[in-house]
Each structure stands twice: as C-alpha cells, then as structure tokens.
Amino acid sequence: MTAYTNGHIFTGSEILDNHTVLTQNGRIVGVVKTEETPTEAERIDLQGHLLASAFIDIQIYGGNGHLFGEFPSVEALKATYDYCLAGGAAHFLPTVATNSETVMLAAIEAVRDYWAQGGKGVLGLHLEGPYLNAAKRGAHIEKLIKHHPSVSDIEKWLDKGKGIVKIMTLAPEVCSDAIVRLLQDNGIILSVGHTNASFEQATTAFDTIGLATHLFNAMSPFGHRAMGVVGAVFAHPSVKASLVADGHHVDFEAIKIAKKLMGERLFLITDAVTENTEGGYSHRLEGDKYVIADGTLSGSALTMAKAVQNCVEKVGISLEESLRMASLYPAQAVGWDKELGRVAVGYRADFVVLDKDFTVKNTFCHEF
C-alpha cells in the first residue's frame, strides 16, 4: 500500500486538507484523514502541493521533436508520452491530421506495437480527417482531404483499426448517415470538426454525434442570421466540445462566453504539435504557438497544465472546474469516467501534483 500524504487533495468535487490517498495495485483504495493513515503504508510526501486526477489530452500530434501524426512510430509515442507527463497528462490520444492511408495504417500499427511493448498512457488513436470540408481545412493538406467517402473507403482501414481508433473527427456534411452508422457500429467515437455545416445540419448531426473538435476553430462561425456549428454547439443540450485554451486559437474572452453557455460540456485539449521540417506538415515555433510556412496557425505549444493555468488566471474559471475540464470531462468524452478523472475509491491511481504556480511536480501513471 502507498500513501500520498501532506498535500491538498482534489477529489474531482472538492479540495480536502489533512487527508491521505491510499493506493494498492494501481487503484485507489481509500481517501482518509491523515491520522488514519496505516503505519505500514509506504509514504509519498506531497510537500504541501495539490494532488489531483491526472490530466487526459485527447488531441495531441506529437512531442519532444517527434511528430507522431506525420511519422508514426513507437519512438514518437514514447516522446509524446514524456511530453504529456511533463505537462501533467498521464493519458492521451495521439492524433493524425488528414494524411495518406499509408500514414493512417502506420499510426494504427505503431499504437498496436506500443501497447504490445507495455507502453503506457495511450488510450487509443484520434484520426482528425481525412473526411473533412476543405473550406475549413485550416492547416490540413487540401489534396489529401476526401469528400463523400464510400463504405469501401472506410472498410480499408476499419478492420485494422478496430480497438485502436478511438475518435474520428469528420465533417457531417460530407459523410452520409450510413458512414456515420458504420463508424459508430465499430466502436469509434465521432466528433464534428473542420466543418462548414449550417446550424441546421450541425444540430441534426449532434443528435447522434456527441462531440465537437476544438470549438471555434475550423468550423462555421456564429452569426446573428446564420448561427453555424458554433451556434449549434451552444444551443444543443448535450454535445461536448474540446477547446484550445492558449489565447491564440481562441481569445480568452470567447472562452469565458463559451463556458457560461456550456458549463460542464466544455473541456480542454492541447492540440499540441512539435517542431518539424519534413513531410507534409511543417511546423515552426513562433513565440508560444506553431505555424506552417504561410503563417497559418497549425497547432499549440500548450501542455495540459498550462491550459488549466490559463483557464484559472486568464478566463476566471475556478481551480476546481479548470481541473475537471482537464481530467473528468475528457474522461467522460472518451468513456473512461468510471476509471479516470476522480480521486475516489476504485479509480486508477493516476495523479498529477501541482504547486501553487501550476508547475507540475510529478505525474503518476500506472499500467492498464
């Protein structure tokens, strides 16, 4: 048994002082008052810092100089995992932006090999494309975007990706109902993104698709006569949306408005890339963001801890809610909220430890 003690414990609903988290075999077995800590437990001194459920990043393309989304490999997954850990995320979905079928299949095999080698942290693969609307492609490669895919297009990679592809971002206006059903019947969570759908099209899509990818970015905007996908996200009672809280992808005041309207339906991703000069996706660091050659915003330099800090300090969201936006709500989005996202008995003993300046002091991740 291990005891995490001498810190502030955020359970997912409240911050507890003078409490200890007890774990055994990678699971939480108790949250007790400090004086009730078993004497035989091995103690980890939190040194007065905050312990919370580790963060979950469901959209990240690479890290530490390895762009997984362009050059998929076990090595790239290890580098991305290390990047995630340094930013407080114990779990992530490596993401492939619109690319060739060869790259998509290589990404699937890389995740399979990573798991076979005992690699930790990867919850599955996120395919962002290629079934998108070129009008909202952002930094995606236009010639690789596929419009109106057929069942046979999907089936080429679907069998190989079964159990590995967790999320797919698509534009609903370019995908038939049959394609949507086929993907969902194969256990893939769909997310609406890189889309120029109308308010009406998006609203209809959200009756069967429960997520939207990076709110405000690469989607038809909110207007007072044409409310677009953004308006549909705001108006829908249950759809959840990810958001990049770096101040570049979305102004902090816009995040404040979205949070007021959406509440618990809004959660955080990094959308992070890494420096890359080869292949179809060339990312160059410009200040604290990444751009492609023509200056188009192509990804963030965020960590999940920095996104949380921005929500607290720049947007004015409470610490507790900001932490949920980085842990519990992403867990709910991918169906892991019975395992991850809370510090409670029975949950995974995966934690982030933060100081008062949001510096990550440690991230704990146990094998699945």
Do 282 and 350 share a domain, yes or no? Answer: no
Tokens of 50: 């905050």
Question: What is the reported pLDDT for 182?
Answer: 95
CB atoms within 10 A of CB 163: 13
Closest CA to 182 of 162, 161, 203, 155: 155
Question: What is the reported pLDDT for 280?
Answer: 86
CB atoms within 10 A of CB 90: 26
- What is the per-residue pLDDT across 161-217, written as a single tens digit (0 to 9) for each? 999 999 999 999 999 999 999 999 999 999 999 999 999 999 999 999 999 999 999
- What is the per-residue pLDDT across 43-94, written as a single tens digit (0 to 9) for each? 999 999 999 999 999 999 999 999 999 999 999 999 999 999 999 999 999 9
Closest CA to 304 of 36, 58, 79: 58
Do 115 and 241 share a domain, yes or no? Answer: yes
- What is the per-residue pLDDT across 82-111, written as a single tens digit (0 to 9) for each? 999 999 999 999 999 999 999 999 999 999
CATH number at residue 306: 3.20.20.140
CATH number at residue 40: 2.30.40.10
pLDDT average, residue stretch 130-148: 94
Instruction: Assess if residue 48 is contained within a domain.
Output: yes
Do 328 and 282 share a domain, yes or no? Answer: yes
Do 284 and 164 share a domain, yes or no? Answer: yes
Write phi, then psi, for 282 (nearest 5 degrees): -100, 110
Do 68 and 10 share a domain, yes or no? Answer: no
Matching residue, tokens 């405000």: 216
Let me know: does 326 contact 267? Beta carbons within 8 Å: yes
Give how many domains the chain has, as a whole number. 2
Do 40 and 58 share a domain, yes or no? Answer: no
Calpha distance 73→361 (Å, rounded) = 28
pLDDT confidence band for 293 (50 / 70 / 90): confident
The one catalytic residue in 57, 246, 271, 350 is 271
The distance between the two most distant Cα atoms of the chain, rounded to a whole number of Å, is: 66
Active site (annotated) includes residue 271: yes
Instruction: Assess if residue 338 is contained within a domain.
Output: no
Do 41 and 66 share a domain, yes or no? Answer: no
Write phi, then psi, for 329 (nearest 5 degrees): -70, -40
Domain of 43, in residue numbers:
2-52+344-364
Instruction: Assess if residue 339 is contained within a domain.
Output: no
Do 80 and 124 share a domain, yes or no? Answer: yes
Do 198 and 84 share a domain, yes or no? Answer: yes
- What is the per-residue pLDDT across 316-329, written as a single tens digit (0 to 9) for each? 999 999 999 999 99
Do 179 and 302 share a domain, yes or no? Answer: yes
Closest CA to 356 of 301, 302, 304, 305: 305
Do 141 and 280 share a domain, yes or no? Answer: yes
Instruction: Assess if residue 186 is contained within a domain.
Output: yes
Do 261 and 291 share a domain, yes or no? Answer: yes
Instruction: Assess if residue 296 is contained within a domain.
Output: yes
- What is the per-residue pLDDT across 233-287, written as a single tens digit (0 to 9) for each? 999 999 999 999 999 999 999 999 999 999 999 999 999 999 999 988 989 999 9
